[in-house]
Structures are given as structure tokens and as C-alpha cells.
Structure 1
Amino acid sequence: MSRSRPLPPVLRVVVAVLRPIFMVTMKRDWSGDEHLPRDGGYVLAPNHLSYIDPFVLGHWMVDHDIPPRFLVKDPLFAVPVIGRLLRAARQIPVYRGTGAAADSLRAATEAVAEGGIIAIYPEGTMTRDPAAWPMSGRDGAVRTALATGAPLVPVAQWGPQAIMWPYRREFRLLPRKTMHVRVGAPIDLSGLDENATVAQVQAATARLMDAITALQAEIRGELPATPRIDVRSLKKPKTRYEES
């Protein structure tokens, strides 16, 4: 378990408001905590299967004395009130498809190097798999871990999709559902550093997604029935938001 880390003031307020609601409306199944590094910064790499799973993962993080900190798509920072809250909570904007895209990983790398814990969704967007299995990953989580020498910890979520399925607006909070978060052993990146080749980084990312999928399979008690979807083959979904 990581040492206790203080929450930014705005997050203390958010937690005070939301945590009692989550405790009443959701059941929790947290497992694999023994794999969390005890000291120093590291990268959490979760799957992304619902608009609400950042809140579920944030709930899990608070329960483990980890201040919730994510890479968040930059348009949300332009939304009045929400943007100010995100900045005050020290979330990191993601500038995908722009010249400032590298700034996101640079900020994440600096935070981890300073001993912070950052959650980076390797898929970069919610799953488009019909059965909500993880897709292939982008390389940001791996590159951040390699640049800092910090552990890369795979995390599988299951349960948020029962409340809100990917890219759908239906919201079904009742009956009360179980939110599963399972942590796996850090990915073996030995022999690699920030100068790793593209092929090496891609291979490490594939190992990461294999680990996340295996963790989710343990939760679900089943294996994927179809090949993994390649995130680079996706067209932009017809929805207001692409990722959380």
C-alpha cells in the first residue's frame, strides 16, 4: 500500500460529497492491493469502459490513500466551472492531435518523477468492443513509466458499464451494482528505458493490455470471444465525448 498522500482542497470537498453517495448506491470489490508499490511514484493503467468509471476508479483511489489524478481530454478544461475544478484538482489536460500533445506526457512524467501517482488510460478512449473487453493500447502509459523508471501497474475495472454502457446515455443506478477494481503485478519493463525502440514500446504496451484483459477475465469468469480491437482503426464515435 502506498503511503498516505494529502488530497488537494477541492478534491476533499468532492470526496466529502460523492463518497457517501457511492457507499450507499454501489457495492465494492477491491482486490490485488498487495501489488501497489509502497513508496514513490508510479503509473496506474486501467481499462476504460464507461463515462462513470473515472469516478469509480477515483473512489478506489481515495480508499487507498491515492489522490485521484488523471490525464483528461483538454476540451473539458474549457467548460466553465468544470475546467476550474479540474485545474484545482491538479488533473492533467491531454492535447491529442495538436502540437501540444507531448506536453501531456511531459506533465505526467514530471508528476510521477516527483513521487506522484497518475492514472493513464492506455486505450485513450472508451472501449468499442461489443462485450466491453479492453482494446489495444496507445503507448503513453508505457512511455511515462520508462521515462521515470517508475512501476507500471495494470488495473481492470468491471461494473461501471452496468450503470452506463459505453457511448450510451441510459443510466441505471438501481438495483445496486458491484464495482470491481482488480490490481495486477507491475508490468516487467526490465531492459527497457526511455530510449526504447518503437517496436519495444509497442510490445510492452501489448503486454500491458494482455495483463489488463486477464485481470478483467478473472473478474468476469470468462475469456474474450473475439480478437482485440485496434484503437488506431477506429473512427470517431458519434457522441459528444470521446473519452473521460
Structure 2
Amino acid sequence: MSEFVYPPVIKTALGVFKALNIKIRLEGTDRIPADGGAVLVSNHVSYLDFIFAGLSAHPAGRLVRFMAKKEIFDNRIGGPLMRGMHHIPVDRDAGASSYAAALKALKGGEIVGVFAEATISRSFTIKDIKNGAVRMAVASKTPLIPIAIWGPQRLWTKGRKRRLLQRNVPVTILVGEPLYPKRGDDYDQVTRDLRAQMEELLEKAQREYTDIPKPGETWWQPSYLGGTAPTPEEAEKLDLEEAEARKAARDAAHDGKGTEG
């Protein structure tokens, strides 16, 4: 597979991080296999997570193929980059094809990155996750590797203004112990075990984070640590309201097309 796009993108990102003095803490990267397929499962706190999650595999000399929503691939700027890096588009109306593409990549020895929460967590805690990542790992006979990311939400997250040029923001990336699910296992139980590991990693990253929010900046800290981010219950309500608003907009657009002419 040709790699004309991905390496320069990584090099550029690292250069930008250096210029902005983004201090990256990487831990547990020896758990990323040097070869062969693996399912990398990350939490989701920002729109930049695929960049930082991908860095977890960088010390092993690996590239991660992320599953990302189709809309990103439709973007005139992001689309060519995503395709050039051989990421995997996820069309929620045609999920089987995305799953098949991910399995093909895994069986071909690639690392596939998954944000199992599906959307950014407004509470900055781990949302409920489905068992899709576990099923992929079982079907491809590959390990399931949990990771936790903390810090990128300060640069760009849901409901907040982008601050991409903010300097001196620490970013923590922790890689957990791999899980090796197999056919016949209780996939829902393995998913609960995976989520528990991710929660443990994320809490470790949050509690050991070197920065403390300044007055007026507590929005990026979870409520359980005294921050003003929504609680998980409040975040769930906001997500539901957003989903209902999007559905209403889609329905209105569809009805509009249906009455044209």
C-alpha cells in the first residue's frame, strides 16, 4: 500500500506540536504490536483525537487506519487527506460495508482505530460503547488495545470555539493492556471489560495531568474533578437533543425535496 500522504501528515503535525510547545506524554506504547493487525479503541474528547491516537502507534513504526464518519470524507479538504491516509469511511446507513472494509484491513495486518463511543463525550468521561470493536477483533483474530487521550479537548471540542494555536497544552496518551477476545466469549462482557479499562486509563490521565484549569477555564475538566463540564447525565440529554434536531432537519430536507415541482 502506497504511503505518500500519511508520513508527511504525521511529520507536519509533529512540527506544529513542537512549534506550539504541545507536551505529549506517551505511556504503554510497547503494547502496540510491531506487526500484524490490531483494533485500537480510543476514547473521544476532541475533533483532533485521530491525530493523537495515531501517535500511540508511532514508536512501533505503525500507521493506524481510523474508522471515521463519511461526512469527513465528503469534505473537499479533509476528504482527499483521509483517503490518502487509507482511513475507513463509516456510512451509518450502510454499516456492513464499513465493517467489511475494517475486517479486510485487519486481516491484511493493519491497525484499525475505533472511537467506540461514536461521538465526542461532552462530559469527558467514557460513554456507553457497543460491541462492534470486540466483534471485529474476534472475526480477524487480532488483539483489542484500549487507549485514553486527555488534553486535546482544550484545542477543539464539541460546543467550544477552536483554539488550534493555543500554546503549552499538555496531551496525555496512555495505552492499556491488550485484550484477546475469541469466538464463544460473551461479547457484551468483553465490551464491559474494555470500557472499564478505558475508564481506568482516562481517570489516570486526568488525575495525573500537569495543568490545573485557570479561573474561567474549568469547562475542560470533568465534573467529578470539580470542573464545569456536563455530568454524564446532562451530556446524554444534550446528545439526545442534538440527535433529535438533526433528524428533524433531515426530515425537513427530505420533505422539501419531495414537494419540489
**Would you say 1:16 and 2:11 are equivalent positions?**
yes
Match of 1:141 among 117, 133, 137: 133
Q: Note the residue ranges of structure 2 that are not aligned, 5 or more in a row.
A: 209-221, 225-230, 247-261
Match of 1:179 among 171, 176, 184: 171
- Range 225-234 or range 132-141, more displaced: 225-234
Is the 8 Å Cα contact of residues 134 and 228 (structure 1) preserved in structure 2? no
Residue 44 of structure 1 deviates from its aligned partner by 0.4
Higher relative contact order (CA 8 A, sep 6+): 1
Please list, as runs of the form range in 1=range in 2, the aligned pairs for 1:182-197 lying within 5 A after superposition. 182-189=174-181, 192-193=182-183
Q: Tell me the equivalent position of 2:192.
A: 206
* 1:82-108 C-alpha deviation (Å, 9 max, x unpaired): 222221211100011x1x211111111
Aligned residues: 225
Is the 8 Å Cα contact of residues 136 and 231 (structure 1) preserved in structure 2? no
* Structure 2 SS opposite 1:180: strand
CA–CA distance in 1 between the matches of 2:54 and 2:86? 14
CA–CA distance in 2 between the matches of 1:109 and 1:230? 32
CA-atom RMSD in angstroms: 2.9
* Structure 2 SS opposite 1:69: strand
Q: Tell me the equivalent position of 1:166.
A: 158
Q: Tell me the equivalent position of 1:215.
A: 201
> What is the percentage of aligned positions where both structures have the same residue?
29
Moved over 6 A (4+): 226-233
Match of 1:101 among 85, 95, 98: 95
Change (3 A) 1:228 1:185: farther
Could you tell me the TM-score, scaled by structure 2's length?
Answer: 0.76
* 1:200-242 C-alpha deviation (Å, 9 max, x unpaired): 22221111111011011112228984778997994263799xx
Matching residue's letter, 1:31 = E
**Would you say 1:125 and 2:123 are equivalent positions?**
no
More helix by share: 2
Match of 2:74 among 75, 78, 84: 78
**Would you say 1:91 and 2:90 are equivalent positions?**
no
Match of 1:154 among 123, 146, 155: 146
**Would you say 1:39 and 2:71 are equivalent positions?**
no
Larger gyration radius, structure 1 or structure 2: 2
